[in-house]
Amino acid sequence: MSKVNRDEIINILDDYDKENITIATLGSHTSLHILKGAKEEGFRTAVVCEKGREVPYKRFNVADEYIMVDKFKDIVNEDVQSQLKDLNSIVVPHGSFVAYAGLDKIENDFYVPMFGNRDILRWESERDLERKLMIESGIRIPNKYKDPEEIDRTVMVKFPGARGGKGYFVASSTEEFHEKIDSMLKRNWIEPEDVKNAHIEEYVSGCNYCIHFFYSALKDEVEVLGMDSRFESNIDGLCRIPAKDQLDIGLDPSYVITGNHPVVMRESLLPQVFDIGDNLVEAAKTLVSPGMNGPFCLQTLCTDDLEIVVFEMSARTDGGSNTFMHASAYSYLMFGEFMSMGRRIAREIKNAINDDKLDVIIT
Ligand code: AMP
């Protein structure tokens, strides 16, 4: 399969009526504030909506156009793409868009102009590429163990495809690693194949901050727009049980994100936050040209040495940006007005249209 041709996308964009652009996205994940923000910036909006899922968009009145599909993945179907194109759409990607459309389709078949760098989506989705980018940027990430025999401290074990925290486990020795693996194999939670591919990393004991950055390619500037922390099941529930009862219950912990809450960091940590964002943006410019473009999120743990350790990256709007559909403490500092991540994306598109630079921020 050959990649969708950038010239083709730019030609489509050139033919668009720039006075009449639609901001479109898949109806899931962070689409409410993407669409709301687009309306606030004066754009027409469209939602590609799975049948039966239209209620929030109607009740919150964020979409001008509805493109109804049987399944989310149909967003890549030719008739849907053609409707999007006819509306002069710029599609804003998010986690569900990437999951349902699929990276191969986005790279090879999806010709509708998209906000951001579509090539970087693979880098955030594949653990080895994500790690390469983080290593290249010189930011502090958890140490990785190539072999369970090397385990010399508490580690977190993650399986491919089990992202989202289901089936993760903590072990403090090689023996414990094998014991837990054996028990998971017996329960058919994992396949023997998965064991080879288990990702073993240093367990970082600290507080969770997910930092929502926006990189403006127009201004070559990194902004911090918000921060959230996660509610995770069942680990959060487990922590509410006294230690002796935890042992009696014998529950296996999991780290499945079920919600987010807004947070702020100690002000003295913010220089570190901006450094991390700047470094990642610089590394991305060389590794996956043209680099970051728009929202990205770093999931971090801050230790009692006040070191911020990054364990995960998204190179598009992250679910935690739903904590500031109006404003966060940081987006207020930055803009002095209500500014969600969705509105910031729309503002960037508006600025690019006004400066005739849409080709800088669209792929
Ligand atoms: P992830 O799927 O990588 O986003 O991780 C889900 C959750 O697992 C995180 O929100 C953390 O609570 C926990 N977690 C992931 N990696 C680590 C780590 N290296 N050390 C401690 N906790 C972690």
Give the distance (Å) from ligand 1 centre to CA of residue 193. 22
pLDDT in tens, the chain (363 residues): 567 888 999 999 999 999 999 999 999 999 999 999 999 999 999 999 999 999 999 999 999 999 999 999 999 999 999 999 999 999 999 999 999 999 999 999 999 999 999 999 999 999 899 999 999 999 999 999 999 999 999 999 998 765 567 778 999 999 999 999 999 899 888 888 888 889 999 999 999 999 999 999 999 999 999 999 999 999 999 999 998 899 898 888 889 999 999 999 999 999 999 999 999 999 999 999 999 999 999 999 999 999 999 999 999 999 999 999 999 999 999 999 999 999 999 999 999 999 999 999 999
Which residues have CB under 6 Å of ligand 1? 142, 156, 163-165, 168, 201-204, 208, 230, 232, 255, 299, 301, 311-312
Q: How far is CA 49 from CA 35, 111, 151, 179, 205, in A?
A: 13, 19, 46, 45, 40
Give the distance (Å) from ligand 1 centre to CA of residue 198. 14
Give the distance (Å) from ligand 1 centre to CA of residue 311. 7
Round to whole Å and give the CA distance between 312 and 357: 31
Give the distance (Å) from ligand 1 centre to CA of residue 165. 7
Nearest ligand 1 atom, CA 164: 2
Give the distance (Å) from ligand 1 centre to CA of residue 278. 23
Domains and CATH numbers, the chain: 6-114 (3.40.50.20), 125-139+205-354 (3.30.470.20), 144-202 (3.30.1490.20)
Nearest ligand 1 atom, CA 142: 19
Round to whole Å and give the CA distance between 308 and 272: 8
Choose the residue to mutate in 203, 230, 301 for probing ligand 1, maximizing ligand atoms within 8 Å of C-beta. 301
